Amino acid sequence: MRILLLGNGGREHAFAWKLSQSPACEALFIAPGNAGTLLHGTNLAIQPTDFPAVKTAVLDHHIDLVICGPEDPLVHGIQDFFAQDAELQSVLFFGPSQAAAQLEGSKAYAKVFMEEQGIPTADYREFSLDQLEDGLHYLATLTPPIVLKADGLAAGKGVVILDNVQEAQVELRAMLAGKFGQASATVVVEEFLSGIEFSVFAFTDGQDYKILPVAKDYKRIGEGDTGLNTGGMGSVSHPPFVDAAMMRKVEDRIIRPTIEGLRLRNLTYRGVVFFGLISVAGEPFVIEYNCRMGDPETQSVFPRLKNDLVELCRATAAGELAGVEIQIDERAVASIILVAGGYPGNYERGLEITGINEVQDSLVFYAGVRTDGDRLLTNGGRVLAVTSYGDTFQEALAISRKNAEKIHFKGVNFRRDIGFDL
């Protein structure tokens, strides 16, 4: 197969690494890719949201299968663009339709969907600007912490959790007034759930589904889960608290009713559903849906997946998942993310990265990394992932920590406590 992968993060490096191992991978192109995807294929200087440019690349390079890494093109309808174009209809596409991608693209849509399917999630109300007064009164009836969520995509920044009613009222006013632009024209106010979060991924062709290895990610910048939220500072697979009994509940109460809900609504979904879950006293609830793989979960999930990823994505996109069996490496995998000094606030780019050649027994997945001749330079806040196997996740983390210490760039920062709560 000739494959085009869309995206440029650490997730996409992990995709490229895994896809390129398949004997079925005849050619791999990545748009736009990064210095890591370049090790496994050909980067194309195209933005995934530029659909006409993606089309030209697909035709020029005789692509058979397109895999969409990030959510943005999906929420903007790239799958529909392919389905409606006479020259692209025969190209297999991994990723849901625009209507189905609303599970991630609109929190209000996802809430109604879950309510109708009887899927456990936090109680909520939604408010638009003309309901501001109702919203302010409603907030006054709540016991903090109070969770406010911008309805639409807000680059991971649209969730605000507040410790008192007055602050929540100020925030609701600001959000409805356009703090996150159109994304916060509607705001979901949610019951706060207290528990431990984990990430479950299911490939689906809209009929069948297959569950990938489970992961847990660490979003806060500081050790002990303190400080600002980031794109993700580390991940482990498998988190031990997610036992077989928990997975049965997840499958019965969440995964199956979700796939059933897609089917009932005739939504075209050939891709991955990412269930952001929380265990509250041993019972799973959905915090959010995403219509793509997680980052940095993918960096820990794909190394445990024994299946041929080309075949798995092809079968998903072709509606042929029924016969597929997922095979999982029993070892633990852990990833530590090296970030730029100052991230998630302001940080420098273009800093030289050294020491990657000294890494032993770990995989290194690049995120914000670009090449400059023979040199590697930082090109983002999250720079790279150091990923290791172990008999236990503690052992995997110890190897990742040891190797993370060998990689240098000015201001480099990483968390040494990933997995501390497991």
* Residue 147 found at the interface with ligand AMP (CB under 6 A): yes
Residue 152 DSSP one-character state = S
Neighbours of 330 (CB within 10 A): 8
* Residue 70 found at the interface with ligand GLY (CB under 6 A): no
Q: Using CB atoms within 10 A of its CB, is residue 319 exposed (0-12), middle (13-18) or buried (19+)?
A: middle
* Residue 151 found at the interface with ligand AMP (CB under 6 A): no
CB closer to ligand AMP out of 55 and 415: 415
Amino acid at 382: R
Q: Which of 297, 308, 339, 386 binds ligand GLY (CB under 6 A)?
A: 297
Measured from each CB, the residue nearest to ligand GLY is 294
Q: Which of 237, 290, 400, 403 binds ligand GLY (CB under 6 A)?
A: 290
* Residue 225 found at the interface with ligand AMP (CB under 6 A): no
Kind and range of the H or E element at 323? none
- SS3 label, residue 370: strand
Which of the stretches 180-188, 189-197, 306-314, 329-337 binds ligand AMP when contact is defined by CB under 6 A? 189-197
CA-to-CA distance for 11 and 381, rounded, in angstroms? 14
> How many C-alpha atoms does 163 have within 13 Å on its Cβ side?
0
Which of the stretches 137-145, 243-251, 293-301, 310-318 binds ligand GLY when contact is defined by CB under 6 A? 293-301
Q: In Å, what is the CA distance from 59 to each residue of 6, 22, 84, 96, 356?
A: 15, 23, 15, 21, 36
Question: Hey, what are 76's tokens?
Answer: 């903007």
Q: Which of 235, 231, 403 is nearest to 334 (CA)?
A: 235
Where helices occur in 141-241 by DSSP H, the ranges are 165-176
Residue in this structure with the two tokens 């999930």, named with its chain if needed: 301
The residues near 183 (Cβ < 8 Å, ≥ 6 apart) are: 150, 151, 152, 153, 154, 158
* Residue 217 found at the interface with ligand GLY (CB under 6 A): yes
Which of the stretches 35-43, 54-62, 186-194, 364-372 binds ligand AMP when contact is defined by CB under 6 A? 186-194
- The interface partner of residue 192, options being ligand GLY, ligand AMP, none and the CB cut-off 5 to 8 Å by kind, is ligand AMP
- The interface partner of residue 197, options being ligand GLY, ligand AMP, none and the CB cut-off 5 to 8 Å by kind, is ligand AMP
Residue in this structure with the two tokens 């420098």, named with its chain if needed: 348
* Residue 104 found at the interface with ligand GLY (CB under 6 A): no
Ramachandran sector of residue 91 (left: φ over 0; alpha: ψ -120 to 50; beta: rest) = beta
Q: Which of 206, 276, 294, 368 binds ligand AMP (CB under 6 A)?
A: 276
Question: Hey, what are 133's tokens?
Answer: 């007064």
* Residue 254 found at the interface with ligand AMP (CB under 6 A): no
- SS3 label, residue 119: coil
Q: Which of 38, 53, 129, 159 binds ligand AMP (CB under 6 A)?
A: 159
CB closer to ligand AMP out of 103 and 383: 103
* Residue 277 found at the interface with ligand AMP (CB under 6 A): no
- The interface partner of residue 147, options being ligand GLY, ligand AMP, none and the CB cut-off 5 to 8 Å by kind, is ligand AMP
* Residue 80 found at the interface with ligand GLY (CB under 6 A): no
CA-to-CA distance for 94 and 318, rounded, in angstroms? 9
* Residue 71 found at the interface with ligand GLY (CB under 6 A): no
The residues near 190 (Cβ < 8 Å, ≥ 6 apart) are: 122, 123, 124, 147, 148, 149
Q: Which of 85, 167, 197, 417 binds ligand AMP (CB under 6 A)?
A: 197
* Residue 344 found at the interface with ligand GLY (CB under 6 A): no
Q: For the segment 230-269, give every residue that binds ligand GLY (CB under 6 A).
A: 232
* Residue 395 found at the interface with ligand AMP (CB under 6 A): no
Q: Which of 237, 295, 307, 337 binds ligand GLY (CB under 6 A)?
A: 295
CB closer to ligand GLY out of 277 and 353: 277
- SS3 label, residue 292: coil
Which of the stretches 291-299, 312-320, 368-376, 387-395 binds ligand GLY when contact is defined by CB under 6 A? 291-299
Q: Which of 192, 264, 354, 375 binds ligand AMP (CB under 6 A)?
A: 192
> How many C-alpha atoms does 106 have within 13 Å on its Cβ side?
16
Residue 241 has phi, psi (to 5 degrees) of -70, -15
Distance of CA 235 to the CA centre of its chain: 12
# residues near ligand GLY by CB under 6 A: 6
* Residue 417 found at the interface with ligand AMP (CB under 6 A): no
Return residues touching ligand AMP (CB under 6 A): 122, 147, 149, 159, 190-193, 197, 276, 287-288
Return residues touching ligand GLY (CB under 6 A): 217, 232, 290, 294-295, 297
